[in-house]
Structure 1
Amino acid sequence: MIDHDDHRRIRIRRRMAFDRETRRWQEETHRMRLAVAACCLGMVLAMLMAFAGPAGRALAREESSGCRSLMDWPVAEPAVIAEFEGPPQPWMSGHRGIDLTAPVGTILLAPADGTITFTGTVAGKAVVSLRTGASTLTFEPADTDLGIGAAVRRGQPFAVAAEGSDHCDGRCVHWGVRRGATDYIDPRSQVTDRRIALKPIRSPS
């Protein structure tokens, strides 16, 4: 026989399930609205390209790429378990990247177009580095069958998570982003969509 407390627990569970579904629906609705907005923007940019001449076409190409993040996450289902903590000075200690949940064997995807610049062992850990534009992306522990100089495209599998992490062995991969020799930046800043801003069309002088 179900007593009053059991009924109360059932109602609470049902309410929690309803709230989860409501949030999921709201998120899906938000994504759909963003998709519609992106589609409308694409139509506007297509019109610019059709009627604004060479300057307009160049501007449209520039702005159409502005709604996409600079990079993609290197794992299919990103879950950050340790955040970026940049050092106060380049030579001081800190967490120069983020740790993502990635059991051994997890496929790593190239966050951006680039070139493999390093594969090997550093301080007992397998490391793979990818050069893209002005940035060097480092993944550890990670293994790859690709050689140095191999070109990879955004979203292409290029390595797998390996064993040998010094703080989450077998459970995560560390992703670092460096500009120059010592300027480490938060990888999260690279996977955030950039603001779209249409600028006035300027005729070529």
Structure 2
Amino acid sequence: MRAPIASRAPVPPSSHPAPRPRAVAVLVVSLLLLVGLPGGAAPAALAGTDRPRWEWPLSPRPAVVGAYRPPAQRWLSGHRGADLAAAPGQEVRSPAAGTVSFSGTVVDRGVITVTTADGRRISMEPVAQQLPRGTRVSAGQRIAVRDEQAVHEPCGTCLHWGVREGEEYVNPLLFVGDLRPSVLLPVPEHLK
């Protein structure tokens, strides 16, 4: 046997107007922008906004001829750095202060790696006339030259620039420019 369902007393009408759907949506979006998305999720473009600002490894500021393309999984192919237009023999400079942690040949090309005080590893290839391992360098200091003989596919004489945070490769352009999305603010009434 079932218990009888209790009848509800009628609810008196509220003196407050019902919230408008648009106002609720604006409020929710505003709160998400202020406190972040649930579970710590954030668009990749917004991640890492606390990164230091570095110098370009080539002067004058080079054209980016090969973009960073992270792999879908760590073991898959991708382009784990940026390719910068460079002339053979052009000076390569350290984007940040640090210590040369590797200076040598990998497969068939010269590579130099500078480790910063916060542990980031900056690598560039193909290079020649690299400073030796253990050399302390300042931001903007010459650390090598673009190898005149080596070819970096698919761009020819470009310089490949990679950055690792721990074991993860990150886009080196995050350190030389502000890649965060623009935020549009409302126009004040007196300017309309």
- After TM superposition, give the deviation of residue 79 of structure 1 in Å: 0.7
State TM-score, norm by structure 1.
0.58
CA distance in 2, matches of 1:194, 1:153: 24
- Residue 127 of structure 2 corresponds to 142
* Contact 2:126–2:159, Cα closer than 8 Å, also in 1: yes
- Residue 57 of structure 2 corresponds to 74
Give 1:110's match in structure 2, choosing from 71, 94, 97.
94
> Deviations 1:136-192 (Å, cap 9, x if unpaired)?
0110101234211100001111111113234157521100001112x1111111112
Structure 1 counterpart of 2:90, which letter? T
State TM-score, norm by structure 2.
0.61
- After TM superposition, give the deviation of residue 124 of structure 1 in Å: 1.0
1:179 aligns with 2:162: no
* Contact 1:119–1:143, Cα closer than 8 Å, also in 2: no
- Could you tell me which runs of 5 or more consecutive residues in structure 1 were left unpaired when the two chains were aligned: 1-65, 196-205
Identical aligned pairs, as a percentage? 39
Give 1:87's match in structure 2, choosing from 61, 71, 75.
71
Structure 2 counterpart of 1:74, which letter? P
Higher helix proportion, which one?
1
Structure 1 counterpart of 2:172, which letter? P
* Contact 2:122–2:162, Cα closer than 8 Å, also in 1: yes
* Contact 1:69–1:194, Cα closer than 8 Å, also in 2: no
CA distance in 2, matches of 1:168, 1:104: 15
- After TM superposition, give the deviation of residue 193 of structure 1 in Å: 4.7
- Residue 123 of structure 1 corresponds to 107
Larger Rg: 2
